[in-house]
Amino acid sequence: MVSEGAALTREAVLAALEAVKDPEIPTVSVVDLGLIYEVRVKGDEVEVDFAPTFVGCPALHVMEQEIVACIRALGARSVRVQRVYRPPWTADRMSARARQALRELGIAPPRPVPAEITLTAFEKLPCPFCGSTDTRMENLFGPTSCRALFYCNTCQQPFEAFKPL
Amino acid sequence: MASPFPKPNETVALPDPLREAVGQLLLAMADDEVLLGHRDSEWVGHAPILEADIAMASIAQDEIGHAVLWYSLLQELGWPDPDRMAYFRDPPEFRNATLVELPKGDWAFTIIRQFLFDFAEKVRLEALMASAWTPLAAAAAKVRREETYHLMHSRAWVLRLGDATEESHRRMQAALEQAWPHALGLFEPTPGEILRVEAGIQPPEAELRARWEAEVRPILEAASLRIPEAEPVYGGRLGRHTEHLAALLADFQGVARSGLGETW
């Protein structure tokens, strides 16, 4: 069954998935985070290739459940969300809109991710509040797997940063 | 019903006995991670500084997440689901190295154990990224990137505590003496190793151990620590464990086995 007026297409599914957010980053959709690798529609069956940021992220189940519910609401009879590890998700997949939304939440978005992540990736990271690069990394680990803790020496605000991955 | 869609990653079929052999490797990796994750979680609320507390919570979550990934691959090969594997097996069925079941000890032991484990995982994952079984190669590449943060963390702590004060040096040296023989047990040959090596699933464990020593020895030496000459403690990969595993599992599995769990 397809809901009236809307054909079940790849584009319709992608548009609907804009409503599914990361529960830890409630203004950014799974599409803007770059977590949706592919959507395949065949009749009323849909498969979604979904890439985790960090494998141990406890929000993965929540997002997967919401993806299924969201696509079923479009009229799909069967929805399968498949976790994909190749190519690994990297922060370079985030959209410009996602980066801006992160800044507004006080989370510095990552710079382009180098092939080998080293501590230099954490030097002079712009503060999401004042833009100063006079900042220091306080802890590689933070409130979620994907965030690290920083301090801005200019505006004297602690802030979080999305880890390069 | 078969999926109407092609698989995103081409999969190499694993006929028996190779399926069983790959399963034994995944079981060892998953059991190592789930138990170390549990031991790390024991520091939550107890670590020496707040930053370390947050780090141990995050590392514990990562390790348990990686365990779920390896258990999920096992499930694809016909083993029970990850919850059943983690919560409803007894000590002789676990295939972890004894290193990860030892009590958390002091902060020095925790750091030394994590450091030795993280670098062992690094060399294993880097080898498995070239594995002939593509689902394993893809997962290894993913986990390897995440492990970058664990490696930075444990290396920094080893270098800091190795020669900070007389007490920190003494504790780190004692921790290394205790952990080293068990860490060598991470490379205990597991059933099916010859089959896996022949099939291009993994390099020999002895080769992984050599690569691991080449990584950890210079860092331990830079931290002014003396590497013990000790024989490996083997047995964990065959289900022969120290007395500590039963106590750990009683704590870790207690709620799931109480029968109260299903409908929280």
Rounded distance between C-alpha atoms, residue B127 and residue B105, angstroms: 31
- Which pLDDT score is estimated for B110? 98
Give the residue from A52, A83, A114 where a domain finishes.
A83
**Domain of B136: which CATH number?**
1.20.1260.10
Per-residue pLDDT at B263? 58
Rounded CA separation B209/B26 (Å): 18
Q: Which of A41, A53, A140 to mutate to test the interface with B (most CBs of B within 10 A)?
A: A140
What rounded mean pLDDT belongs to chain B? Answer: 94
A20 shares its domain with A79? yes
User: What single DSSP character describes residue B91?
Assistant: G
pLDDT tens, residue by residue, B223-245: 999 999 999 999 999 999 999 99
Q: Is A3 within the bounds of a domain?
A: no
Alpha helices by DSSP H, A2-115 = 10-17, 60-72, 96-104
Residue A19 and residue A77 share a domain: yes
- Together in a domain, A112 and A57: no
Residue B73 within any structural domain of the chain? yes
Average pLDDT over residues A4-20: 88
Within 8 A by CB and 6+ apart from A150, the residues are: A108, A122, A125, A127, A135, A136, A137, A138, A158, A159, A160, A161
Cis peptide, bond prior to residue B17, ω within 30 of zero = yes
Instruction: State chain A's mean pLDDT as an integer.
Output: 93
Reported confidence tier of residue B123, pLDDT bands at 50, 70, 90: very high
**Could you tell me the two tokens for A66?**
């919401």
Could B61 and A145 be called an inter-chain contact, meaning their C-beta atoms sit closer than 8 Å?
Answer: yes
Residues A110 and A62 in one domain: no
Query: DSSP secondary-structure letter at A150?
Result: E
Rounded to the nearest angstrom, the minimum Cα separation between A141 and chain B is 5
Does residue A120 share a domain with residue A62? no
Cβ distance B61 to A56 less than 8 Å, yes or no, reads yes
Among positive and negative, which fits the CA dihedral B190, B196, B202, B208? positive
pLDDT of residue B128: 98
Do A23 and A79 fall within a single domain? yes
CB B174 within 8 A of CB B4: no
Res B6: pLDDT: 42
- Inside any domain, residue B264: no
pLDDT of A115: 86
Place of tokens 């780090």: B55
Residue A5, domain member (yes or no): no
A89 belongs to a structural domain: no
**Number of domains making up chain B:** 1
A119 and A65 inside one domain: no
Q: Are residues A41 and A73 in the same domain?
A: yes
Nearest to A88 among B64, B141, B153 (CB): B141
ipTM of the complex: 0.91
The per-residue pLDDT for A10 is: 96
pLDDT band at B259; cut points 50, 70, 90:
confident
Structural domain includes residue B5: no
The pLDDT tens digits for B68-118 are: 999 999 999 999 999 999 999 999 999 999 999 999 999 999 999 999 999
Alpha carbon distances (Å) from A26 to A18, A59, A105: 12, 11, 9
Cβ pair B148:A117 closer than 8 A: yes
Rounded Cα distance, B115 and B108, in Å: 10
Residue A7 has what pLDDT?
A: 83
Q: A148 and A111 in one domain?
A: yes
Q: Are strands A107-108 and A78-83 parallel, antiparallel or unpaired?
A: unpaired
By DSSP bridging, strand A36-42 and strand A45-50 are antiparallel
* pLDDT interval class at B163 (50, 70, 90): very high
Amino acid at B190: T
Window from A86-90, B26-30, B193-197, B216-220 with minimum mean pLDDT = A86-90
B45 token code pair? 């609320």
Answer yes or no: do A18 and A76 share one domain.
Answer: yes
Question: Which is nearest to B94 in space by CA: B251, B242, B205, B258?
Answer: B242
CA distance B130 to chain A (A): 13
Q: Model confidence at B2, in pLDDT bands (50, 70, 90)?
A: very low
Are A47 and B5 within 8 A, CB to CB? Answer: yes
Query: Which of A83, A117, A143 delimits the end of a domain?
Result: A83
Please give the residue range of the domain that contains residue B96: 18-256
Identify the CA nearest to B79 among candidates B92, B93, B91, B65. B93
State the Cα–Cα distance between residues A63 and B198, nearest whole angstrom: 40
Per-residue tokens: B253: 């599995």
pLDDT of residue B3 exceeding 90, the answer is no
Alpha carbon distance A32, A12 (integer Å): 16
Amino acid at B77: L
Mean pLDDT (whole number) for B128-148: 96
Does the beta-carbon distance from A55 to B65 stay under 8 Å?
Answer: yes
Which of A50, A83, A116 is at the close of a domain?
A83
Contact B87, B257 (CB under 8 A): yes
Q: Any residues with CB less than 8 A from the CB of B242 and at least 6 apart, and which?
A: B98, B101, B102
Q: What is the pLDDT of residue A2?
A: 46
Domain span at residue A134 reads: 104-162
| Nearest Cβ partner for B138 among A52, A86, A119 | A86
Q: Answer whether residue B3 is part of any domain.
A: no
pLDDT tens digits for range B50-75 = 999 999 999 999 999 999 999 999 99
Residue A113 CB neighbours (<10 A)? 16
Residue A94 domain-assigned? no
Calculate the CA dihedral of residues B98, B101, B104, B106 and round it to 10 degrees. Answer: -10
Number of domains in chain A: 2
Encode pLDDT of A21-32 as tens digits.
Answer: 999 899 999 999
B76, amino acid identity: E
Cα–Cα distance between B91 and B238 in angstroms, integer?
Answer: 11
Would you say residue B260 has pLDDT above 60? yes
B198 pLDDT tier (thresholds 50, 70, 90) = very high
Instruction: Please return the burial class of A142, using the count of CB atoms within 10 Å of its CB with bins 0-12, 13-18 and 19+.
Output: buried
Do A18 and A58 fall into the same domain? yes
Asked whether the predicted pLDDT for residue B5 surpasses 70, the reply is no
Distance CA B74, CA B30 (A): 9
